[in-house]
C-alpha cells in the first residue's frame, strides 16, 4: 500500500526486507529519505538507524520511523537513534507523503549549502568534543586523508593531533580560539592549517581547514591566472576567507595597497567582486 502511494506521487521506492539488507543497499545507493520500521527480523530499526548515521555518505539522509511501537520511550529511542520523525501505525499515506516532502526539502537545503561550500573551495567540518566528525565538506575529508593517510572518515574519530588540539579549545571564547595549528602525519607530505570558527551548542565545534603549503598554491594562481606574485598572494588569502585587513596584516601591507591589488586582480580575471575572484581561485586550485 505504501509503495503504491509513494510511487503514485512520482517517487522511486526501493525495499529492504531486513536491517542487513538495508545496510547493504545503502552501500551502493544514497536514498533521499529512509522509511524505517522499528521491528524487523534480526537487527531492529533503532540500531540500523544508528549505524547509518555513522556513515558519512548517508548520515545526512533523513530517517522517518513508521512503526506500531507507540510508547513514549519508543519514540524517544527512535529520535535518539537519529530519526527525524516518528509515525505510528495505522499510517495515513497522505500524511506520510506530506512528512516526506517536508523532511526532503529540509535535507536538500542543508545538503545544497554544504555542496556550495565545497564547490567554492571551503574546507569545513563540524566535530563533537571527542573528535567524531558530525559533518564535513568532501574537500575537507580529502585534505585530512592526504595529511593523515591512515584516517578513515567512515570509522575513525579525527586523528589524535587534531583531537588533542581541539580539546584545548572547547568551551573557550571564539576570540581565544582564533589561533591556528599546522599539523600532518610524518611522511604524508601534507600539512593542515586548522582553526576553530565557532562552537555551536554544547557539543558541535565548527572548524576551518587550509592546505598548509601556500607557496605552491601561489605559484599555481600566478601562472594559470597570469598574475604577479603579490597579486597571487593576495588572491590566495582572499580565497581562504580572509578580510582585506587580515590580508594586509599577513602580507605586511597597508589596506589601501591590498585594495589596489584587488582592483588589478578583478581586471585581469574579468570579475566584479571578491566573491567571484575567490570562487575562480578555488576552481583553479581544484583543477590540480
Mean pLDDT confidence for 116-135? 73
Strand partners, 211: 192
Segments making up each domain of the chain, as ranges: 2-116, 121-211, 214-286
The pTM of this model reads 0.50
pLDDT at 34 (0 to 100): 95
Multiple choice CATH, 121-211, 3.90.105.10, 3.30.450.20, 3.40.50.1400, 3.30.110.60: 3.30.450.20
pLDDT at 151: 85
Can you list the alpha helix ranges (DSSP code H) found in the chain? 2-8, 19-28, 45-53, 72-80, 93-119, 138-147, 160-167, 214-225, 229-239, 244-251, 255-269, 274-286
- The pLDDT score that the predictor gives to residue 110 is 73
Cβ atoms of 37 and 66 within 8 Å: the answer is yes
- Which whole number is the average pLDDT over 178-197? 67
Instruction: Quick: pLDDT tens for 218-240.
Output: 888 988 899 998 899 899 989 88
Between CA 95 and CA 118 the distance in angstroms is 35
Statement: residue 214 has pLDDT above 70: no
Cβ pair 2, 96 in contact under 8 A: yes
Considering the domain 214-286 in this protein, what is its CATH number? 1.10.10.10
Pairwise CA distance, residues 271 & 266, whole Å: 5
The DSSP result for 247-260, as a single string, is HHHHHT--HHHHHH
C-alpha cell at 284: 583553479
Summarize the confidence of residues 238-259 as an average pLDDT. 86
Q: Tell me yes or no: is domain 2-116 CATH 3.40.50.11540.
A: no
Q: Which residues of 43-64 are buried (b: 16+ CB within 10 A; e: fewer)?
A: ebbbebbebbbebbebeebbbb
Q: What is the mean pLDDT of the chain?
A: 83
Please state which of the ranges 26-35, 158-167, 182-191 shows the lowest mean pLDDT: 182-191
Annotate 71-105 with b (16+ C-beta within 10 A) or e (fewer).
eeebbebbeebbbbbbbeeebeeeebbebbeebee
CA distance 83 to 67: 12
Amino acid at each position: 500500500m505504501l509503495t503504491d502511494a509513494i510511487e503514485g506521487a512520482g517517487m522511486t521506492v526501493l525495499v529492504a526486507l531486513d536491517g542487513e539488507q538495508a545496510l547493504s543497499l545503502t552501500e551502493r545507493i544514497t536514498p533521499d529519505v529512509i522509511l524505517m520500521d522499528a521491528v524487523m527480523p534480526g537487527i531492529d530499526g533503532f540500531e540500523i538507524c544508528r549505524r547509518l548515521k555513522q556513515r558519512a555518505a548517508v548520515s545526512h539522509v533523513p530517517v522517518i520511523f513508521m512503526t506500531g511501537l507507540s510508547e513514549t520511550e519508543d519514540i524517544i529511542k527512535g529520535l535518539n537513534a537519529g530519526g527525524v520523525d516518528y509515525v505510528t501505525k495505522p499510517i495515513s499515506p497522505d500524511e506520510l507523503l506530506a512528512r516526506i516532502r517536508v523532511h526532503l526539502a529540509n535535507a536538500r537545503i542543508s545538503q545544497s549549502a554544504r555542496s556550495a561550500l565545497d564547490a567554492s573551495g571551503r574546507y569545513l567540518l563540524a566535530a563533537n568534543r571527542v573528535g567524531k566528525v558530525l559533518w564535513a565538506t568532501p574537500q575537507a575529508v580529502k585534505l585530512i586523508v592526504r595529511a593523515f593517510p591512515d584516517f578513515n572518515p567512515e570509522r575513525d574519530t579525527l586523528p589524535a593531533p587534531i583531537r588533542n588540539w581541539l580539546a584545548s579549545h572547547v568551551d573557550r571564547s571564539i576570540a581565544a580560539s582564533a589561533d591556528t595549528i599546522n599539523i600532518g602525519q610524518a611522511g604524508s607530505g601534507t600539512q593542515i592549517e586548522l582553526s576553530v570558527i565557532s562552537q555551536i551548542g554544547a557539543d558541535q565545534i565548527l572548524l576551518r581547514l587550509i592546505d598548509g603549503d601556500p607557496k605552491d598554491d601561489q605559484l599555481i594562481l600566478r601562472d594559470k591566472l597570469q598574475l604577479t606574485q603579490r597579486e597571487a598572494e593576495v588572491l590566495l588569502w582572499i580565497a581562504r576567507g580572509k578580510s582585506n585587513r587580515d590580508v594586509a596584516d599577513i602580507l605586511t601591507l597597508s589596506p589601501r595597497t591590498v585594495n589596489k591589488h584587488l582592483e588589478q586582480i578583478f581586471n585581469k580575471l574579468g570579475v566584479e567582486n571578491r566573491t567571484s575572484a575567490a570562487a575562480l581561485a578555488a576552481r583553479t586550485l581544484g583543477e590540480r
